[in-house]
Chains A and B, each alone.
Chain A
Amino acid sequence: MIEGARVRLTVIGVVVMFLFSALFARLWFLQVASESNYAAAAASNRIRTVYEPALRGRILDRNGKPIVENEPVDVITFDRNKAMSRGVHKLVVARLAQLLGVTPKEIEHRMDDPRASSFAPVPIATGIPPEVRTYVEEHEPDFPGVQVIRTAERAYPNGPVAANLIGYVSEINSEELRAYKHQGYRQGDLIGKDGIEQTFENVLRGTPRKLKVEVDSRGRVVRTIEERKPVAGKDVKLTLDLDVQRMAEQSLAQGMDGARHVQDETDKQGFSSYRAGAGAVVALDPNDGSVIAMASNPTYDPRQFAGGITPEEFQQLNRPESNFPLVNRAVQGLYAPGSTFKLFTAIAALQSGQLDPNAGYYDRGCIDIGDQQRCNAGKTPHGTVNLPSALTVSSDTYFYNVGRDMWQHYNTYLKEKDTNKDAADAEIAKGYAIQNTAKAFGFDRPTGVGLPDEAGGRVPDQLWKQRFNENDSDPRQKREGSLWLPGDNVSLAVGQGDLLVTPLQLASGYAAFANGGTLFTPRLASAVLEPGTGLDQPQPVVRDLPPQPVGPTGLTPETRRVIIDGLIGATTDPSGTAYAAFRGIGGPTVAGKTGTAEGSGKQDTSLFVGISPPDQPQYVVMAVVEEGGFGASVAAPIVSRIFQGIDGNANAASVQVQPAPIQD
């Protein structure tokens, strides 16, 4: 052989010896050195642990009516691990296809579902009729590997009501699995997503059944080794009133539909009507912050999720064209509150001693702020107004004036702060009175109601403005952007500018005003109960969920009295902005405030908040319709109809959208 080949052969020989030694050593390790480990592992092959979810807790309204419960449902499953020849398999597929009325290809497709665990039987069809179940059970030899099992599915006996608030139940995804693995969730488990189902997941879920069995090589159970019985989930009693909720959802939908038939008069270009793409309604009990109703539109039908939603259906719900029905606008929607915010401007001005409520102000329609002119809608003059009448007719210039006066204090603070600190502090308190009051009434932070993804809103001030503009590349813009200008405070005073609130925040702030000044955390549920059978047996309380006051807002009875007069006028006085919507509806007086918020590139947003009765209020109801037009036009009639429902008039006439808006 050639030069050096002999050497190389020897090297190869050494390498080969080494490789074989490695194999020997590993074999020794596996079989002699650690035999017991593997014997145990081999034994574990024959032991199977099976988990069965416990019955999920129901969700009830404040009167005990079930909103979400469970219904038993039959599911056909197929055991993929069962050994069978291809011929037999094909036969089973064909029989199943015929039985269920689908193609064999569809059956194969369902059998191949990668989401199902490879050791558990895979579901082929859910919610089969009893005849199908009986047929399979009676013809068992014809269906090897096929089993009919009974599970429970979420059912909505009162229809798809409060879907955005309640949420839905669906299969756990990998992110959630990672986060909650230590709580015993496994792939394929159902978990509450969104809304109450998610917030109260721990309570509703219960404890799954755990069964440890020994199987033979064919997978048949030989004996039961261990069983942990399931513990059914607890029921949750909400503060929601199903009847009011239905009224709210219906009225909201009617109002939005009506808005779409109203022409946008302010549209310079053409004759388009209002888009009214989305909206929300929130009804609270001002005495303890309980949520009586919470509606969001567009909404969805949670029954779609009950048996397992298809990817196509789910995508449909997330397309921009559907306008995102899964979003709960009541807590996730951010809006400029417009004139409804004047309530808090008024409180701020009165409580900080900057305003005499009886002093007259001449509203000529417009006011000069610096070198700009700010006007009422349509530049309508209202003549001499004081605070209550300014609220009744919603005079913008009156409040612009208040805002400007406050800005003067702020400006004084700027001048004094380096020389006279005490005086400066007094000035800044007055200059930022609106912001401070707003924060005291719960704005600028999430309410803490407990629903997922709640937005915090925003109350702008100089610091916020500076931070917002600090990344501006133009240095002049950046410098100007960091100044708190008169126009900023003035816009804030009428609920515009960079102010953003959620519908729940607005309702909650009004509720604090209504009850005399205590801010509550909005409350969704009153108690957790032992699971009930739905047969009107009393359910013992597991845990009370009492109201949670946040604290006093500093509201004085005098302030309240003055302001409530203005709000009563809005609905009862012919000059009031919401007069038309509440005329002749009967029942206790509703005091309220309209709002029409402008947004850049958007049509006006319609808002209204109502308090009833004005003394000892029991309800605060607000409505907002994005791009719905004037507050008096759409939101006020919506709230009006809801109050009619609350008074017992469940068949009140459809929402009458008011076409000729009173300037607001």
Chain B
Amino acid sequence: MSFLPQTRSRWERRGSGGEPRLGVPRSRFDVSVLRDLDLWLVGATLAIATLGLLMIYSSTRERLRLEGVDELYFVKREGVAILVGLAVMALLVAVDYRKLRDSSVFAYVATVVALLVVLSPLGESARGSQGWFQLPGGFQLQPSELAKFGIIVALAGYANAHRGEMDPWRLTVTIGLAIVPIGLVMVQPDFGTAMVLGLIVITLLAVAGASLKHLLVLALLAVSFVVAVVNVGVLQKYQVDRLTSFVSPGSDTRNTTYNTDQSKNAIGNGGVTGRGFGNGSQTAGGFVPEQHTDFIFTAVGEEFGFLGGATLLALFAIVVWRTWRAALLSRDFFGTLVCVGVLALFVFQVFENIGMTMGIMPVTGIPLPFMSYGGSSTITAFACVGLVAGVSMRRFR
């Protein structure tokens, strides 16, 4: 398969013989490093973000116009988020990622603190979930999104420091530490993000050397935990209904699968070539709820049809592929772990979100990276790409 990298080229390109000098970060930014910047990755990311802006416009303009508000309201805000994200991405590309290697404690503590504070009276709640801070200027900050970034950095650093020592004891300690932020997220309650974090942890541990046996046990525990939570009533009824109605759609009341049904209708309505930009009757008619956030893929599916939807999937596939490739080619283990974390994050979110809009995954409130309207989510996604780009860019030195 042609996209698997050839190890030969890496050694060829190196020039001077001998072992590469691992583990020594560059102290100042060398522009020449940009030569190896992964343009596939950055390009695909930008393409997705642009498409996202278009879709946000298409799915919100009718409603905004009815209310007499600026049609570009959401577009502008998401645009700001993208710009901020790009800045963050540039920063992370510029700064050597290895500088983050020893900051896992800081990342972890910062994450936990942020998640704790959001549960205090300082945090805002909406729709039964207390998950963000209201910032001046009308902007919102969602620590559970940033927690994804924080967990990746923290866990990658920790696993890297103890690579090869992933015995049951250390595994348990790691899990125990990971439970804290995951639990705090669940308290909000945000079941979807908790699952994302859990998956990141499991994937990272898998690559970091936990034995297969331990992983299986871990996977089983996770599954039984999910089942227990669903049945015991820690979740709100509507959350349980969403999951159970996914499993047995016949038993549902109209309201629970309403979102998914409307979504499938909208996507199916797109056909092969779509109804044309701005022409999706379901989209424009406002029949799909949450279309500018969780269900944004339906707008693509309806307006650009199979060609559009497949193209978007391909773009995501490129982003995922390049991330995976970066993990493989990273010159140090920390970089690999970071990329694996980001890989898990993107793959799960893309699969769950798009799968949900197509009715093959249960409904959870997970955004589609780069596309769903949401500042914290977009910025975090760009930050993750920045990390990965940085890793892949520095794989030779």
A contact set with B: CB distance below 8 Å: 1-6, 8-9, 12-13, 16, 19-20, 22-24, 26-28, 30-32, 34-35, 37-39, 41-42, 45-46, 83-85, 118, 216-218
Contact = CB atoms under 8 A, between A and B. Distances in A.
A217 B281 contact: yes
B343 A12 contact: yes
B27 to A, nearest CB: 25
B62 interface: yes
Given A3-B209, A5-B333, A37-B268, 7 more contacts: A13-B324, A19-B347, A32-B272, A38-B265, A38-B268, A45-B265, A85-B67
A651 B266 CA distance: 73
B305 A26 contact: no
A45 B282 contact: yes
B358 interface: yes
Contact of A42 (B265, B313, B354): B265
B268 A9 contact: no
A369 to B, nearest CB: 63
Interface in B99-134: none
B66 A218 contact: yes
B324 A6 contact: no
A39 B269 contact: yes
Given A20-B317, A31-B306, A1 B333 contact: yes
Given A23-B351, A27-B309, A16 B272 contact: no
Given A12-B203, A31-B272, A24 B351 contact: no
B209 A31 contact: no
Contacts of A12: 203, 206-207, 324, 340, 343
Contacts of B268: 30-31, 34-35, 37-39, 41-42
B270 A83 contact: no
A663 B203 CA distance: 93
* Residue among A26, A31, A41, A46 facing the most chain B CB atoms (10 A cut-off): A31
B287 interface: yes
9 contacts: A4-B209, A6-B328, A9-B336, A19-B347, A20-B313, A23-B350, A37-B268, A38-B268, A83-B67
Interface string B269-293: 1111000000001101111000000
Interface residues of B, number: 57
B336 A5 contact: yes
Shortest beta-carbon contacts, A-B, top 7: A38-B268, A217-B285, A42-B269, A31-B306, A41-B265, A42-B265, A85-B67
A38 B305 CA distance: 12
B236 interface: no
B389 to A, nearest CB: 18
B255 interface: yes
Contacts of B264: 30, 38, 41
* Residue among A3, A13, A37, A39 facing the most chain B CB atoms (10 A cut-off): A13
B88 interface: no
A83 B63 contact: yes
A35 B268 CA distance: 5
Contact of A26 (B69, B287, B320, B360): B360
A288 B69 CA distance: 75
B340 A38 contact: no
* Residue among A9, A35, A216 facing the most chain B CB atoms (10 A cut-off): A9
A9 B285 contact: no
A9 B313 contact: no
A162 B311 CA distance: 72
A23 B267 CA distance: 13
Contact of A2 (B305, B330, B333, B360): B333
A216 B266 CA distance: 16
Given A5-B209, A31-B272, A83-B67, A42 B282 contact: yes
B140 interface: no
A8 B333 CA distance: 13
A27 B355 CA distance: 9
Nearest to B3: A13
A118 B209 contact: no
A24 B313 contact: yes
Given A2-B164, A16-B343, A217-B285, A83 B66 contact: yes
Nearest to B332: A1
Given A37-B268, A41-B268, A9 B340 contact: yes
A217 B336 CA distance: 50
Nearest to B324: A13
Contact of A32 (B67, B255, B306, B317): B306
Nearest to B302: A42
Contact of B207 (A9, A34, A41, A42): A9
A42 B301 CA distance: 13
Contact of B266 (A8, A35, A42): A42
A30 B310 contact: no
B77 interface: no
B214 interface: no
B271 A26 contact: no
A31 B270 contact: yes
Interface string B331-363: 001001000100100010011001100111000
A20 B262 CA distance: 23
B310 A45 contact: no
A23 B358 contact: yes
A20 B317 CA distance: 7
A38 B266 CA distance: 7
A444 B101 CA distance: 89
B267 A31 contact: yes
B327 A42 contact: no
A19 B358 contact: no
B355 A23 contact: yes
A26 B379 CA distance: 29
A5 B286 CA distance: 47
A3 B333 CA distance: 11
B282 A31 contact: no
B282 A9 contact: no
A320 B362 CA distance: 47
A64 B209 CA distance: 90
Contacts of B164: 2-3
Contacts of A35: 268-269, 271-272
